[in-house]
Structure 1
């Protein structure tokens, strides 16, 4: 058993997978339908389990996302259904979701939260899970991603459509707008990790020549949706720590425009407050 795990990890390492040992163990736990902590208690695999494991390791070695192989992704305190056609949520986005949770929790009464470009529904699901009394709304343009969000979201107003033209009925009433928009410049195609470039929908990745087209649209839409004094938070690329907040600062509509780093110290998301 230990030799099987070691061989799988080595195969993934040679293929350039960033976390080969963990991925090998997660795939094995998935095949056996046991928690990671119980793997050392397993003595041997049945032939059909070994064949299934070998097939999954081969697909991961071909750089198919781990979450596509298991069908799930953990995000803060929720488990999300994911697969081909939807952006796989990243751990760093949990920081933006945590900010949205804190802001919603600080609103007296029932906070109104809108998640634009919801994808799998990760941020909306986290907010509803941690602030259950919140009135949460989400929108996704892709029908494929919307189908996953529908599976993942309960008690959330989920809509299919253009995030930057949605929720006219909420104009001027929203407390928190949160968004993980596409932000990769088209010129950065070659630098994108294989798992994302070849498997995540390009609609969720690329945003014009400078990567800020969606951010500009978000700035305008958030200004329409938020009540005076409401807040917006948006993820961006680590090289956009000045340019992304600059989109908001340049318009004169916002105060308290700030940028925030992730746990590795990289610029990760911006926040701003609509002027009163």
Structure 2
């Protein structure tokens, strides 16, 4: 049990425990956990390391560190995560948004600017919205846009609604419980999705932080990881506005296979984007008959 009586000592204890447990990002995780429990900042730790900590705070940090050592991701313990400058609440049936997905947001924003500007009333649908991360990030940059967040999970949609309201975009964001396009009417300028794309055999070998804590159905898409893309490719055309685009996140080795599925359904690959590690991560498609706009 930690005997730390000050903020600085408690932080050092947490860092040592996570380091000894072999946690790769132990120093960062310790800081996040201590800041969350004590409601302090990094500046507080540097400028007021002698700040007293209560027994309640110390015990809460001990519990959080124990959970982290057991494999629970730090942001699952905290209950929220930053994405594209937004603070997003997490829940059991939402995927934890990752920085690589910001590539998709950046590419859609660039296309919106190219096609008409940020201030147009773009219509966006985010399929498998989870926390609402992609849709809300787009709303944060496109002030006249309206987004629909679609998910089969009521828990995910409730979380997305909380995140929309908490970040000030509730008036331009609506939710719909639907199995992909099943209950969707209308057409959209941007169809976006970070669908499940992991193969069954790969999922079984994932790190415990992912396999045991991210919702399985948000990750796994059949034996080849392409089930969701088959559906998106087949059904997006009926919901795409004239000149609209479909933007999807993909696995690092799926560019050719996903492109083939969309081409077979009358789409053309417009752009491809890479993530922070240089891997293929985002594909943007237009209808084959769409004339390129400049």
Provide TM-score, normalisation by structure 1.
Answer: 0.92
Q: Distance in 2 between matches of 1:124 and 1:114?
A: 7
| Counterpart selection for 2:232 from 204, 213, 218 | 218
The reply to whether residue 42 of structure 1 matches residue 59 of structure 2 is: no
Q: Distance in 2 between matches of 1:191 and 1:244?
A: 23
Give 5+ residue unaligned stretches, structure 1: none
Q: Distance in 1 between matches of 2:75 and 2:207?
A: 15
Q: 1:255: which partner in 2?
A: 268
User: Measured at CA, do residues 194 and 132 of structure 1 come closer, stay the same or move farther in structure 2, by a change above 3 Å?
Assistant: same
Cα shift readout 1:187-229 (whole Å, capped 9, x = no counterpart): 1123322111101111101000000100111112221111232
Greater Cα shift, 70-79 or 240-249:
240-249
Report deviation, 1:2: 4.3
- Contact (CA 8 Å) 2:8, 2:45: kept in 1 or not? no
User: Measured at CA, do residues 217 and 13 of structure 1 come closer, stay the same or move farther in structure 2, by a change above 3 Å?
Assistant: farther
Cα shift readout 1:158-177 (whole Å, capped 9, x = no counterpart): 11111232422x1xx31111
Q: Distance in 1 between matches of 2:176 and 2:111?
A: 23
Q: Distance in 2 between matches of 1:219 and 1:14?
A: 47
Alignment: residue pair count: 272
Q: 1:71: which partner in 2?
A: 79
| Counterpart selection for 2:59 from 51, 64, 73 | 51
Cα shift readout 1:243-267 (whole Å, capped 9, x = no counterpart): 222221233x112344321111111
Runs ≥4 residues deviating over 6 A: none
Q: Distance in 2 between matches of 1:107 and 1:162?
A: 30
Cα shift readout 1:28-64 (whole Å, capped 9, x = no counterpart): 0011112223222231422221111111111111111
Q: 1:264: which partner in 2?
A: 277
Cα shift readout 1:68-113 (whole Å, capped 9, x = no counterpart): 2112110102111113222111111111122223333444331111
Q: Distance in 2 between matches of 1:178 and 1:190?
A: 27
The reply to whether residue 12 of structure 1 matches residue 18 of structure 2 is: yes
- Contact (CA 8 Å) 1:75, 1:91: kept in 2 or not? yes
Cα shift readout 1:1-40 (whole Å, capped 9, x = no counterpart): 5454334224324444331110100000011112223222
The reply to whether residue 110 of structure 1 matches residue 121 of structure 2 is: yes
- Contact (CA 8 Å) 2:93, 2:130: kept in 1 or not? no
Cα shift readout 1:125-174 (whole Å, capped 9, x = no counterpart): 11111112002111111112111111112121211111232422x1xx31
The reply to whether residue 181 of structure 1 matches residue 195 of structure 2 is: yes
The reply to whether residue 162 of structure 1 matches residue 179 of structure 2 is: yes
Q: 2:260: which partner in 1?
A: 246
User: Measured at CA, do residues 75 and 239 of structure 1 come closer, stay the same or move farther in structure 2, by a change above 3 Å?
Assistant: same
- Contact (CA 8 Å) 2:178, 2:184: kept in 1 or not? no
Give 5+ residue unaligned stretches, structure 2: 1-6, 165-169
